[in-house]
Chain A
């Protein structure tokens, strides 16, 4: 493989993986607090739409990002209310959000199809971008990508080195105990779901403001569901999330490169790659770990907490 093939491939890998990375980080926070938010696909697409529409109308990328975060927060708030306060079925609630979000974004997005809006452009980081191969791939990217790198580090430090991260993990692991130790389980869960939703919204915005740079029907195309699988693949760990998203960005990259080289395989099969890989990855993860505990899943994931109903 020559560098002229490799560098564009790695470049696409990073760029395609970024929206996933935001979403996976967001979902990791939510699931670490014990709330399974399957609405990613819907939150992402609404974030993508809100980001694009706002940036298009205002001309400001920053406003676009803020809008995407607000949209993500609002949709997640619905999920937080249903799963934390009502104690509804979290799987169904997530599915409902996907249906609602997809429909809403497609409906409101109609007028924006095919419009050219502002988009993030590459900002090279001086010196670092001169490193062979890696410099071009990692340090000549758009600001959102740098932001995602920093978020990985921040979230990792938050989860494992601070008291609040400890409280979050305890809430997802064993809410009864966390509650008895004075942690406000409801508050932690609401915050985690909402902040997670903001990050997921940003993931959508990276699609509409950078990677695809524009609006089209069903823009996210199942990326949200892939993200759900990647959270499991990365064992709910932000550092591993980075690697997992690279792998999936790579799969998308390979798909494009192969399409570009005109290989005889029909495009339909190439486009199946991410979905089939997701299934394979899930199988592989469970094959290699066996029990839920070893998988690293938070102990109280998808479990409703009600202080007074404990046995």
Chain B
């Protein structure tokens, strides 16, 4: 036991001491100590907003720490930019990949490696890519443009990029969120090869299963503070969950069995092209009944965005019908979707669902501002708007409770509550909920899921689109699996089996 400790101490690859980082007065990292050994796979566990990504962005030079020291191989270093981090052998695969879409894989790899010659020799690089790719099982076409690749393939390019510039410490931010369950296995296999070669791996996650599947050690963060560093073999899932959230949590939300009624939304043979002119949905048929949540399972980028856009009128289909409450939508515009009673929690709440520079109240009336009570005779009725907003703020516990505060100073969870409050209160027949809990902490997630379930029990029809398979399984009555714009199958959630859904998400028909 004693000898083992000494060996490990000598093999510290990287150590961070007393890291402090302040964002707008909130401590994202508060005096965090963190170290990773050579050849270790180290999980960084915490819920959204715990400070995991911030800590790793400091290590990879994206953020500058306000205070604290970093040691690489025992030597104190100052990491001022991603460039310096790269020079110290640190590489990070961000949640949003750092690849330039319009360039080829090869060009991206050249870009990521400053040691290359000024004059580009593509042939040489392509050969190198092929060699490395083969060694680690990271198959990808070097001549493809990045935008042509699936997210799983893009992740492989990211790993290739890090390896080809000789990274020794590889950091992954929520790497499995873009992968099917089967792809996850392949990815973990690659990680094991890398760690066996002495490379250190840090994997940021909030999924407990992953910790037990892959990690040698796990560090738990909560609200910017380090809670503990432990070996997974010494703890239970329950222990980790408690350390992560800070209280006893029931990890399961109970959804009462619902009694679906008549169909509210029917899609018939919908086909649609995406922005690049490629077929994004191919002959999709779906129906959603009242008191029903239909979940769409799929790896992102398989047509989910376009599906929501068609129903909401952002996009006109090439062919097919959208029928709501027995009436066919003829003109595809957001205005007509709203008149047909489509509510929508969009995937990017800041880019689409909210206007950060406007106040809470002005965001709450975004859909209903035309109504007489808010703008009779073309003039805004500030009294009614204020009362309406106060009402929603109280019902949905929105913080701060002042309707004049700007959306941009709200936390992600409260921003989502504003969207939720608006979309559930406005008159509607169907609710499209896209990634409704993305980026929220456990309390926020629970709140949103509870609201969706209540809404369903009250007779609402919900189309739930999420990359979080657990969420889909937990909330849906039926699950439709989408792959490359086609519905593979629709299954009852009760008889659903995660393996077979995973296979279908990867295009293998069950």
Question: Do A's and B's CB atoms come within 8 Å in the complex?
Answer: yes
Contact surface of A with B, Cβ cutoff 8 Å: 161-164, 166-167, 169-170, 173-174, 176-184, 291, 293, 299, 307-308, 310-311
Can you list 19 pairs linking A and B with CB atoms under 8 Å apart? A161-B120, A162-B120, A163-B111, A166-B110, A166-B111, A166-B120, A169-B100, A170-B111, A173-B100, A173-B102, A174-B100, A174-B101, A180-B92, A181-B86, A181-B161, A184-B83, A291-B275, A308-B63, A311-B350
Give Cα A164 to B276, complex, Å: 29
| A181 and B101 contact, CB distance less than 8 A | no
Give, as a whole number of angstroms, the nearest-CB distance from A181 to chain B.
4
* Given known A170-B103, A179-B82, A181-B161, contact A163–B116 (CB-CB < 8 A): yes
B329 at the interface (CB under 8 A from A): no
B99 touches which of A169, A177, A307, A311 (Cβ 8 Å): A177
Nearest residue (CB) in A for B21 is A308
Give, as a whole number of angstroms, the nearest-CB distance from A243 to chain B.
22
Q: Number of B interface residues, CB 8 Å?
A: 33
Q: Which residues of A contact B112 (CB under 8 A)?
A: 181-182
Q: Which of A170, A181, A183 gathers the greatest number of chain B CB atoms within 10 Å?
A: A181
B484 at the interface (CB under 8 A from A): no
Interface of A is mostly: helix
Q: Which of A177, A184, A308 gathers the greatest number of chain B CB atoms within 10 Å?
A: A177
Nearest residue (CB) in A for B350 is A311
Give Cα A173 to B107, complex, Å: 13
Q: Which of B60, B99, B102, B350 gathers the greatest number of chain A CB atoms within 10 Å?
A: B102
| A163 and B120 contact, CB distance less than 8 A | yes
B101 touches which of A166, A299, A307, A310 (Cβ 8 Å): A299
Give Cα A178 to B118, complex, Å: 17
| B62 and A178 contact, CB distance less than 8 A | no
| A173 and B103 contact, CB distance less than 8 A | yes
Q: Which residues of B contact A183 (CB under 8 A)?
A: 83, 111
Starting from the known contacts A307-B81, A311-B350, 18 additional A-B residue pairs (CB-CB under 8 Å) come to A163-B111, A163-B120, A167-B111, A170-B100, A174-B99, A177-B97, A177-B98, A178-B100, A178-B111, A179-B62, A180-B82, A180-B98, A183-B83, A291-B275, A293-B275, A293-B276, A310-B62, A311-B96
Give Cα A161 to B99, complex, Å: 19
B455 at the interface (CB under 8 A from A): no
Give, as a whole number of angstroms, the nearest-CB distance from A137 to chain B.
33
Give, as a whole number of angstroms, the nearest-CB distance from A154 to chain B.
13
| A181 and B62 contact, CB distance less than 8 A | no
Q: Which residues of A contact B100 (CB under 8 A)?
A: 169-170, 173-174, 177-178
Nearest residue (CB) in A for B94 is A180
Give, as a whole number of angstroms, the nearest-CB distance from A186 to chain B.
10
B76 at the interface (CB under 8 A from A): no
Give Cα A163 to B100, complex, Å: 14
Nearest residue (CB) in B for A310 is B62
Which 7 pairs from chain A and chain B are nearest by CB? A180-B98, A177-B98, A181-B112, A182-B83, A182-B86, A174-B100, A170-B100
Q: Which residues of A contact B276 (CB under 8 A)?
A: 293
Nearest residue (CB) in A for B103 is A170
Q: Which residues of B contact A180 (CB under 8 A)?
A: 60, 62, 82, 92, 94, 98
Give Cα A300 to B116, complex, Å: 25
B111-141 CB contacts (< 8 Å) to partner A = 111-112, 114, 116-120
Give Cα A166 to B113, complex, Å: 12
Q: Which residues of B contact A299 (CB under 8 A)?
A: 101-102
Nearest residue (CB) in B for A177 is B98
Give, as a whole number of angstroms, the nearest-CB distance from B440 to chain A.
15
Give Cα A163 to B115, complex, Å: 10
Give, as a whole number of angstroms, the nearest-CB distance from B175 to chain A.
15
* Given known A173-B102, A181-B161, A182-B114, contact A166–B94 (CB-CB < 8 A): no
| B83 and A169 contact, CB distance less than 8 A | no
A-facing mask of B61-86, CB < 8 A → 1, else 0? Answer: 01110000000000000000111001
Give Cα A291 to B275, complex, Å: 8
Give, as a whole number of angstroms, the nearest-CB distance from B472 to chain A.
24
* Given known A163-B118, A177-B97, contact A184–B103 (CB-CB < 8 A): no
| B117 and A163 contact, CB distance less than 8 A | yes
Q: Which residues of B contact A184 (CB under 8 A)?
A: 81, 83
Q: Which residues of A contact B350 (CB under 8 A)?
A: 311
B103 touches which of A162, A163, A169, A308 (Cβ 8 Å): A169
B107 touches which of A166, A174, A179 (Cβ 8 Å): A166
Nearest residue (CB) in B for A174 is B100
B62 touches which of A161, A170, A174, A307 (Cβ 8 Å): A307
Give, as a whole number of angstroms, the nearest-CB distance from B118 to chain A.
5
